[in-house]
Structure 1
């Protein structure tokens, strides 16, 4: 049975796509800074390293990427588990109704024979 896509699914797709795009964009930035030599500011004496700055920023972006992907797959699994649980609950309720009808229409002796033959089916 095909799954319906709701607004929540589209929102998750958009956020995931944006985070992945930022991640890929920043990987390209880091790649461009690979050959850059650190420079020293003569006035202040501070050394600036563009590659190190890009790498540090990437270290901030990666956890967001893993967070979004973890959320995406986790929520998807929870949604499927809820659907399965709802279907199982409906099946159990239908079985209970059928059992109640069968018990009401069966004679007492046939019910007792079934209980003695299959006690686990009757919760004993």
Structure 2
């Protein structure tokens, strides 16, 4: 469901000229990527056995995955800051009807994701 919301918001942001929609689409993409990285780290950590060489097994992979997730967010933030500054210098007209509609759809998808993940 998040992937459909990501595609719709990204395309809507590009077509209707909204940096906010593109930013929310990238937010959805990086949320999904964070879930995948965390799941991979958890699987790796659970399959390892502590031994003389690996005192904690591979449980240190989990904080490294969180660090990696934070590092991966930096290019997205830099892009959004750059694009926002460009819009500040030369404003672009956005569609005042479709942008809120797509943003509301994105919000509903985010709320649905939280509901599903909370079980």
TM-score, normalised via structure 1 length: 0.40
Q: Which structure would you say has the larger RCO, counting Cα contacts within 8 Å and 6 or more residues apart?
A: 2
Larger Rg: 1
